Amino acid sequence: MNNRLTALIFDVDGTLADTERDGHRVAFNRAFATMGVNWHWSIDLYGELLAIAGGKERLKFYLEKYRPDWQTENMTEFILQTHQLKSQYYRSLLQEGAIPLRPGVKRLILEAKEQGIRLAIATTSSLPNATALLETTLDPAWFEVIGAGDIVEHKKPAPDIYQYVLSQMNIAPQNCLVFEDTAHGLAAATQANLKTIVTVNEYTKNQDFTDAILVINQIGETAFPINISYLQQIMSNK
Ligand code: XBP
């Protein structure tokens, strides 16, 4: 089987940058204040809420579990409006430069580009939110497919978003390598027959990554960087 590495597919939140703790969480709290509700998602609580993929889905879960008695005229509308506000705040945080890329991300992506490796995104985040991060840190044009949020019916851990990206790229899974940071993301990629490198973060470091081909704490910036030829080696050995 030809398993030459020809494409890298990146998850966004938590993988490219620590957008969850410093971005989406902070933005949700600002949106709650604007909506006039006295709720605050702490770093710890947000860690628990991350079990639910998707910002709208996460808020719905929070309301059901933590605010069962709270009433509003139209719950769906409330969720949509709060999510929209949250997204605006999130994008402002990005524009302020409040959420830098994780170490090594830009270096590896630039190296991949130079070597003609194809690039794509597969995320649960909504498209405008994912694109906003790419616009402020990298360049959306570098990615031939940006698979995001509501494009597919089932969010991660379902494999839908990865299957979507593979079919848009018209590429076989054995020629791709995925970068993820969560067990949900790993499950999604694995079910789409993709090999995955997990770069853990504070929220995800204790999750089960048995199916990953490699688990690291960051991609690596200077002295001993992970580079394309090393990734090619990992692919051939697995
Ligand atoms: C990230 C998510 C998203 C973001 C919020 O998933 O779970 O829900 O927290 O994004 P991934 P939206 O790791 O797949 O990028 O508010 O735009 O849904």
Kindly tell me if the per-residue pLDDT of 237 is higher than 70: no
Name the residue at shortest CA distance from atom 6 of ligand 1: 124
Name the residue at shortest CA distance from atom 4 of ligand 1: 125
Cα 116 to averaged position of ligand 1 atoms, centre (Å) = 28
- How do residues 192-216 score in pLDDT, each as one tens digit? 999 999 999 989 989 999 999 999 9
pLDDT at site 150: 84
pLDDT at site 47: 95
Cα 156 to averaged position of ligand 1 atoms, centre (Å) = 10
What is the model's pTM? 0.91
pLDDT at site 1: 61
150 is catalytic: no
Q: By the 8 A CB rule, do 127 and 89 touch? A: no
Average pLDDT, rounded, for the chain? 94
Kindly tell me if the per-residue pLDDT of 224 is higher than 80: no
Cα 235 to averaged position of ligand 1 atoms, centre (Å) = 28
Kindly tell me if the per-residue pLDDT of 235 is higher than 90: no
Per-residue confidence band for 3, with pLDDT thresholds at 50, 70 and 90: confident
13 is catalytic: yes
- How do residues 161-186 score in pLDDT, each as one tens digit? 999 999 999 999 999 999 999 999 99
pLDDT at site 238: 67
- How do residues 63-111 score in pLDDT, each as one tens digit? 999 999 999 999 999 999 999 999 999 999 999 999 999 999 999 999 9
- How do residues 122-137 score in pLDDT, each as one tens digit? 999 999 999 999 999 9
The best mutation among 24, 32, 46 to test binding of ligand 1, ranked by most ligand atoms within 8 Å of the C-beta, falls on 24
Cα 84 to averaged position of ligand 1 atoms, centre (Å) = 13
Could you identify the atom of ligand 1 that is nearest to the CA of residue 155? 14
Q: Which of 30-34, 65-69, 159-163, 232-236 has the lowest mean pLDDT?
A: 232-236
Q: Which residues line ligand 1 (CB under 6 A)?
A: 11-14, 20, 24, 53-55, 123-126, 129, 149, 156, 182, 185
pLDDT at site 93: 96
Name the residue at shortest CA distance from atom 10 of ligand 1: 125
